């Protein structure tokens, strides 16, 4: 709950991770591809990761708010289905850069643009495996105290502060400094 919300499932093999595997700082985002706030957080997380190259790793987990965002689950499935062909992050970026166009036709079009096997993509999109992955992400988020989107965890602890670029960068850099010198 408040002040003690911790990531219930640590970063593991089923996660999509950007940045260096041995980085001392871990940033996990629970997000929804149709959520406007997550759309604003997308370039911020990307720039922070570039700035902290070698020090930070970033994982994205799905937290679709289906009743508010009717295309959010499909978008999450599209990212996971692309992930089964090694293109999770490419699809993640396309989805956040095209939040207004997350209907099924558009999702198929993105798969074509990524030059992945479109038939396999369509099959995986509807598969129980992908459905379970999206649900597992959501459930781990609920049990970790995710209370809206985006919710960030820094080294396993929910970050309730300001996530604008400079604020987030400053917090992550101070965590990195502690990790190195303590």
Partner 1 sequence: MELLQKGAQAPSFTLRSTPDQNLSLEDFRGKNLVLCFYPADWSPVCGDELALFNEVLPMIRKYDAEFVAISVDGAWCHQAFKKDRKLRFPLLSDFEPKGEVSRKYGAYREKEGESARALFVLNGDGVIHWSYLSPVGINPGADGILAALESLPVEEAAS
76 binds partner 1, rule: CB under 8 A: no
138 binds partner 1, rule: CB under 8 A: yes
Taken in order 105, 110, 112, 113, is the CA torsion positive or negative?
Answer: positive
Nearer to partner 1, 97 or 160 (CB): 160
Peptide bond into 62 cis (omega under 30): no
Q: Work out the number of other CB atoms within 10 angstroms of the CB of residue 117.
A: 12
Taken in order 7, 13, 18, 23, is the CA torsion positive or negative?
Answer: positive
Kindly tell me which residue out of 5, 59, 111, 134 binds partner 1, with binding defined by CB under 8 A.
5
Kindly tell me which residue out of 139, 161, 164, 179 binds partner 1, with binding defined by CB under 8 A.
139
Site for partner 1 in 146-165 (CB under 8 A): 146-148, 160
Q: What are phi and psi of 5, to 5 degrees?
A: -70, 120
8 binds partner 1, rule: CB under 8 A: yes
Kindly tell me which residue out of 43, 86, 132, 142 binds partner 1, with binding defined by CB under 8 A.
142
145 binds partner 1, rule: CB under 8 A: yes
Give the C-alpha distances (Å, rounded to integers) separating 66 from 9, 18, 52, 74: 22, 26, 33, 10
Kindly tell me which residue out of 14, 68, 164, 167 binds partner 1, with binding defined by CB under 8 A.
68
Name the site residues for partner 1 (rule: CB under 8 A). 1-2, 5, 8, 65-68, 138-139, 142-148, 160
């Amino acid at each position: 709950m408040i002040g003690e919300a911790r990531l219930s499932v640590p970063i593991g093999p089923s996660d999509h991770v950007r940045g260096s595997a041995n980085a001392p700082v871990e940033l996990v985002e629970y997000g929804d591809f149709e959520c406007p706030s997550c759309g604003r957080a997308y370039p911020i997380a990307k720039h922070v990761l570039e700035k902290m190259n070698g020090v930070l790793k970033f994982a994205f987990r799905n937290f679709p708010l289906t009743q508010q965002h009717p295309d959010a689950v499909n978008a999450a499935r599209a990212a996971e289905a692309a992930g089964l062909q090694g293109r999770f992050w490419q699809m993640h970026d396309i989805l956040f850069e095209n939040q207004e166009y997350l209907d099924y036709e558009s999702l198929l079009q993105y798969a074509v643009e990524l030059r992945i096997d479109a038939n396999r993509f369509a099959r995986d999109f509807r598969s129980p495996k992908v459905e379970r992955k999206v649900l597992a992400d959501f459930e781990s988020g609920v049990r970790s105290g995710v209370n809206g989107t985006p919710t960030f965890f820094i080294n396993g602890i929910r970050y309730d502060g300001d996530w604008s670029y400079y604020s987030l960068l400053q917090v992550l850099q101070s965590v990195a400094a502690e990790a190195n010198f303590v």
